[in-house]
Amino acid sequence: MARPNMVTKQDLILSAERVIQEKGLDKLTFKAVAEGAHVTQGTVYYHFKTKEQLLFEVVQSLCDRSWENTKQLQLKQEHPKESVDRLLEEALQRCTPDSMYHTLFYSLVVHSLQNPPMRERLGELLQAENAHVAALLELLLPASGLPGKSLEYRAVMINALIDGLALQALVDPQFPAREVYGELSQVLLAIFPEASDKNKTNE
């Protein structure tokens, strides 16, 4: 087996992202990734045994960067409603017919139905995403009085809503994403009335 050179695993993931963005998912091959990173195919094989493993790592990398960006928003300094609106705007930008993240995610979901190890990894990814959302809720609504399990379950619902809307946008070019997200903002304020009440108190 070829040993890796100075190119890192993350370099190869970024090369894969560029291939997908510039040429489309169907053009993603180990050869294309290797050419983009200026390495041999053996280097790619050293880090990724299958194309599906590579796709999962790309999805994981996109998730990690998205949450890192969220941490930079300084949400704790805002009114909760303003923070909710900003977070929904971030999600709205990925709710498109050509969303790379959701195209990859749902491609992996289909593959995982016949691949238990991949299904397990995706399940762990979703659990991590739910935990991130729950942590955000706790940050935005520290005095809500909601028990831990309630926050956890509401985080699952929100995550499922976001992914479900993205799926509809993928298959329907006419999907009214902005209008639907406007309604979603109202739904979330109904689920978490503390956010709306706190916002009014501070006005």
Same domain, yes or no, for 140 and 181? Answer: yes
Same domain, yes or no, for 42 and 114? Answer: no
- What is the CATH classification number for the domain harbouring 18? 1.10.10.60
Same domain, yes or no, for 192 and 141? Answer: yes
Same domain, yes or no, for 19 and 84? Answer: no
Q: Is residue 54 part of a domain?
A: no
What domain range is 1 assigned to?
1-49
Same domain, yes or no, for 78 and 40? Answer: no
Predicted pLDDT of residue 71:
74
Same domain, yes or no, for 38 and 81? Answer: no
Predicted pLDDT of residue 146:
62
Which tokens belong to 7?
Answer: 């190119």
Predicted pLDDT of residue 109:
95
Domain boundary among 49, 71, 87: 49
Using CA atoms, how far apart are residues 35 and 15, in angstroms rounded to an integer?
9
Q: Is residue 55 part of a domain?
A: no
Same domain, yes or no, for 83 and 171? Answer: yes
Which tokens belong to 189?
Answer: 């304020």
Using CA atoms, how far apart are residues 81 and 75, in angstroms rounded to an integer?
10
Same domain, yes or no, for 44 and 64? Answer: no
Torsional sign, CA 137, 139, 144, 145:
positive
Domain boundary among 49, 70, 88: 49
Predicted pLDDT of residue 66:
87
Predicted pLDDT of residue 42:
93
Predicted pLDDT of residue 170:
96
Same domain, yes or no, for 183 and 153? Answer: yes
Whole-model pTM: value is: 0.81
Predicted pLDDT of residue 76:
57
Which tokens belong to 34?
Answer: 């290797």
Q: For residue 20, give the nearest of 46, 68, 56, 58 by alpha carbon.
A: 58
Predicted pLDDT of residue 202:
47
Q: Is residue 67 part of a domain?
A: yes
Predicted pLDDT of residue 45:
93
Same domain, yes or no, for 137 and 195? Answer: yes
Same domain, yes or no, for 25 and 110? Answer: no
Q: Is residue 91 part of a domain?
A: yes
- What is the CATH classification number for the domain harbouring 184? 1.10.357
Predicted pLDDT of residue 199:
47
pLDDT in tens, the chain (203 residues): 445 568 899 999 999 999 999 999 999 999 999 999 999 999 999 999 999 999 999 999 999 988 887 777 655 556 667 777 888 998 999 999 999 999 999 999 999 999 999 999 999 999 999 999 988 888 777 655 666 678 889 899 999 999 999 999 999 999 999 999 999 988 887 766 655 554 444 44
How many domains does the chain divide into?
Answer: 2
- Letter for the amino acid at 132? H
Which tokens belong to 143?
Answer: 């005095």
